Amino acid sequence: MTTLTRGRQAPAPAARARPPRRRRRPWMTITLFVLPALVLFLLLVVAPIAVALYASAFKWNGFGGLPTNFVGWDNFTRLFGTEVFRQDVWHLGVIILLSLGVQLPFSLAIAMLLHRRVRGRAVYRLVFFAPYVLSEVITGVLFSLLLSPDAGLANQLLGAFGLESAWLADTGTVLPSVFLVMTWKYFGFHMMIYLAGRQNIPEELIEAAQIDGATPWRVFRHVTLPLLGPTIRISVFLSVIYTIQLFDLVWILTEGGPSHASETMAVTMMEFGFGRNQVGYASAISVVMFGLSLVFALVYQRFVMRRDLEGAATSMGDHR
Amino acid sequence: MGGRGFLLIATAVLVAGCGGGGGGGGATEPKQSQAGSPAKVTVELWHLSTTEPMKTIMAERAKEFMAKHPNVTIKATVLENEAYKSKITTLTQSGKAPDVFATWGGGVLKQQIDADLVKDLSADVAPILGGFTKASLAAYQFDGKTYGLPTDIGMVGFWYNKKLFAKAGIQQPPATWAELLDDVKKLKAAGTTPIALAGKEKWPGHYYWAYLAMRIGGVPALQQAATDKNFTTPDFVAAGQQLKALADLQPFQKGFLGAGYSTPDGQSASVSNGKAAMELMGQWAPAVQKSSGKGLGDDLGFFPFPAVDGGKGAVTDAFGGGGGLAVGADAPPEAVEFVKFFDEMANHSRAVEKGGVLPVLQGEESAVKDPNLKVVAESLAKATGFQLYLDQAYPPAVGAEVNDSVAQLIAGTKTPQQVAEAVTEVAKSE
Q: In the structure, what pLDDT confidence band is assigned to residue A41 with cuts at 50, 70 and 90?
A: very high
Q: In the structure, what pLDDT confidence band is assigned to residue B37 with cuts at 50, 70 and 90?
A: low
Residues B219 and B182 in one domain: yes
Please judge whether A241 and B5 are an interchain contact, meaning their C-beta atoms are less than 8 angstroms apart: yes
Q: Which residues of B touch A285 (CB under 8 A)?
A: 12
Interface test with B, best of A278, A289, A296 (most B CBs within 10 A): A278
In A, minimum Cα distance to B413 occurs at A259
Q: How does A19-49 read in b/e, with b if 16+ C-beta sit within 10 Å?
A: eeeeeeeeeeeeeeeeeeeeeeeeebbeebb
Dihedral (C-alpha) B169, B175, B181, B183: value to the nearest 10 degrees? 10
Picking from B341, B364, B381, the residue at the C-terminal end of a domain is B381
Residues B409 and B361 in one domain: no
Please judge whether B9 and A242 are an interchain contact, meaning their C-beta atoms are less than 8 angstroms apart: no
3-state secondary structure at position B145? strand
Whether the full predicted model's pTM is greater than 0.90, yes or no, is no
**Residue B6 resides in a domain:** no
Bridge partners of B252, per DSSP, are B195
All structural domains of chain A, each given as residue ranges with its CATH number in brackets, are 76-310 (1.10.3720.10)
Picking from B381, B398, B421, the residue at the C-terminal end of a domain is B381
Interface test with A, best of B257, B406, B410 (most A CBs within 10 A): B257
**Residue B118 resides in a domain:** yes
Specify the CATH number for the domain of residue B110.
3.40.190.10
**Residue B9 resides in a domain:** no
Residues B174 and B294 in one domain: yes
CB proximity under 8 Å: A 171-230 to B: 171, 174
Cα(A110)–Cα(A102) distance, rounded to whole angstroms? 12
Bridge partners of B319, per DSSP, are B387
A258 touches chain B (CB under 8 A): yes
In angstroms, what separates the C-alpha of B323 from chain A's closest C-alpha?
A: 19
In B, minimum Cα distance to A45 occurs at B6
A61 touches chain B (CB under 8 A): yes
**Residue B185 resides in a domain:** yes
R_g of chain B computed on alpha carbons: 22
Residues B192 and B146 in one domain: no
Q: Which residues of B touch A44 (CB under 8 A)?
A: 6, 10
In angstroms, what separates the C-alpha of A230 from chain B's closest C-alpha?
A: 17
Cα(B407)–Cα(B244) distance, rounded to whole angstroms? 11
Q: Residues with Cβ < 8 Å from B424, sequence gap 6 or more?
A: B229, B230, B231, B232
Number of structural domains chain B divides into: 2
Q: Which residues of B touch A149 (CB under 8 A)?
A: 254-255, 258
For residue A127, the tally of other CB atoms under 10 A from its CB is 11
Residues B190 and B278 in one domain: yes
Residues B197 and B282 in one domain: yes
Residue type at position B373: L
In angstroms, what separates the C-alpha of A197 from chain B's closest C-alpha?
A: 18
**Average confidence score pLDDT of chain B:** 85
Bridge partners of B323, per DSSP, are B152
Q: What is the pLDDT of residues A79-108, one digit of tens each?
A: 998 889 999 999 999 999 999 999 999 999
Residues B61 and B118 in one domain: yes
**Residue B3 resides in a domain:** no
**Residue span of the structural domain in which B271 resides:** 157-319+390-429
Residues B260 and B356 in one domain: no
R_g of chain A computed on alpha carbons: 24
3-state secondary structure at position B26? coil
Q: In the structure, what pLDDT confidence band is assigned to residue B6 with cuts at 50, 70 and 90?
A: very low
Q: What is the pLDDT of residues A177-226, one digit of tens each?
A: 999 999 999 999 999 999 999 999 999 999 999 999 889 899 999 999 99
**Residue B422 resides in a domain:** yes
Q: In the structure, what pLDDT confidence band is assigned to residue B2 with cuts at 50, 70 and 90?
A: very low
Residues B91 and B103 in one domain: yes
A150 touches chain B (CB under 8 A): yes
Residues B298 and B423 in one domain: yes
Angle, alpha carbons B69-B70-B72 (nearest 5°): 70
Residues B263 and B374 in one domain: no
Q: Which residues of B touch A190 (CB under 8 A)?
A: none
Q: So what's the pLDDT on residue A91? A: 94
Residues B369 and B401 in one domain: no
For residue B68, the tally of other CB atoms under 10 A from its CB is 11
CB proximity under 8 Å: A 267-296 to B: 269-271, 273-279, 282-283, 285-286, 289-290, 293
In angstroms, what separates the C-alpha of A64 from chain B's closest C-alpha?
A: 5
Q: So what's the pLDDT on residue A315? A: 42
**What is the number of residues in chain A?**
320
In angstroms, what separates the C-alpha of B302 from chain A's closest C-alpha?
A: 26
Cα(B63)–Cα(B45) distance, rounded to whole angstroms? 12
Picking from B344, B362, B381, the residue at the C-terminal end of a domain is B381
